[in-house]
Chain A
């Protein structure tokens, strides 16, 4: 990668990402949003976050690649602990289950 390529990537991704973040909060500001939109917005977090990681968990090497049972089980352990106890227990349970599965099944 040449310096020109690297700086092009940094600056264009930086500008694009900032515009995405600023888009609605910045330009619309205090505008009142219609009820149907507010109803959809209540589900942003719960839709985006799991959708982002689901393919990573099921297919560590890209879509359609081999399923890694250790990571699948670790994700479920992390979810159960996160649901019941919170963030730090989720991390401990998730990573712990991953290492345990690696020791047991490789």
Chain B
């Protein structure tokens, strides 16, 4: 199997989450007063579901536009960490490829790709192909099913609580990463920090909690080395 198709296969279970999440976003955005073109444009241009939900919910609550934008961007600051963490694996690629790969840098793509890079050695070129495979299995669905949600509206009953599939998805992405005591420490510290700092304004708790978790993991690794 080529690296592209391996990546595609490895990320394909997440289609089960991306599809309902996209439909929910499309319907939610239409409800918030956007037309279909605007909903699709938002998903295509911003390309980050959690941040889009965050910003629209704030606008619906009557928050100032600037606050909604900054809160959405704060949720996405985590991707700066993804952007650094991918350098050792994808940094060798030509500039235009790095530009394309940046556009597709979603949580599932990052988590699936890095887990594979760290557990199985592969040549640099294969890493790029693998990344594209992972990204192509989930990214197009985001656009297609945002459109479906925007076009048909509230087809998913709220009682099904399908929005909860997203946290479950992130938990499923995390579980296989907990390979060493250092990884476990990073996870526990990040979770406790997120809960303790949830009161911070503009969603800044996420990036701060992530940095605390990384520092804890790195420190445990250093001491055990």
| Chain A interfacial positions (CB closer than 8 Å to B) | 1, 3, 5-14, 16-18, 20-26, 28-31, 33, 36-59, 63-64, 71, 74-75, 78-79, 82-83, 86-88, 90-91, 94-95, 98, 102
CB distance from A68 to the nearest CB of B (A): 10
Bound: A87/B83 CA distance, A: 24
* Known contacts A42-B221, A45-B114, A51-B209; is-contact A18 B103 (Cβ 8 Å): yes
* A8 and chain B: residue at smallest CB distance: B65
Among the stretches B43-51, B141-149, B150-158, the one at the interface with A is B43-51
In residues 195-221 of chain B, which contact A (Cβ within 8 Å)?
195, 198-199, 205-206, 209-218, 221
A25/B168 in contact, CB under 8 A: no
Residues on A with beta carbons closer than 8 Å to the beta carbon of B216? 43
B167/A90 in contact, CB under 8 A: no
In residues 163-183 of chain B, which contact A (Cβ within 8 Å)?
164-178, 182-183
CB distance from B154 to the nearest CB of A (A): 19
A24/B80 in contact, CB under 8 A: yes
Residues on A with beta carbons closer than 8 Å to the beta carbon of B194? 50-52, 54-55
Bound: A36/B204 CA distance, A: 24
Residues on A with beta carbons closer than 8 Å to the beta carbon of B191? 50-51, 54
B168/A74 in contact, CB under 8 A: yes
Q: Do most interface residues of chain B lie in helix, strand or loop, or is the interface mixed?
A: helix
* Known contacts A9-B55, A42-B118, A48-B78; is-contact A25 B177 (Cβ 8 Å): no
Bound: A43/B220 CA distance, A: 11
5 A-B interface contacts by CB (under 8 A): A1-B34, A6-B34, A13-B46, A53-B167, A91-B16
Size of interface on B: residues with Cβ below 8 Å to A: 96
CB distance from B80 to the nearest CB of A (A): 5
A55/B198 in contact, CB under 8 A: yes
Q: Do most interface residues of chain A lie in helix, strand or loop, or is the interface mixed?
A: helix
B171/A10 in contact, CB under 8 A: no
For B178, give its contact among A3, A46, A95 (CB under 8 Å). Answer: A46
* A36 and chain B: residue at smallest CB distance: B218
B51/A33 in contact, CB under 8 A: no
B186/A43 in contact, CB under 8 A: yes
For B59, give its contact among A9, A21, A86 (CB under 8 Å). Answer: A9
Tell which of B79, B99, B171 has the most Cβ of chain A within 10 Å.
B171
CB distance from B137 to the nearest CB of A (A): 12
Bound: A22/B102 CA distance, A: 5
CB distance from B78 to the nearest CB of A (A): 5
* A90 and chain B: residue at smallest CB distance: B172
Bound: A53/B14 CA distance, A: 16
B222/A52 in contact, CB under 8 A: no
Q: A26-B98, A42-B221 are in contact. List 15 more A-B contacts (CB 8 A).
A: A8-B69, A10-B41, A10-B42, A10-B46, A14-B45, A21-B80, A21-B105, A25-B83, A33-B87, A49-B173, A50-B187, A52-B194, A53-B167, A79-B175, A82-B175
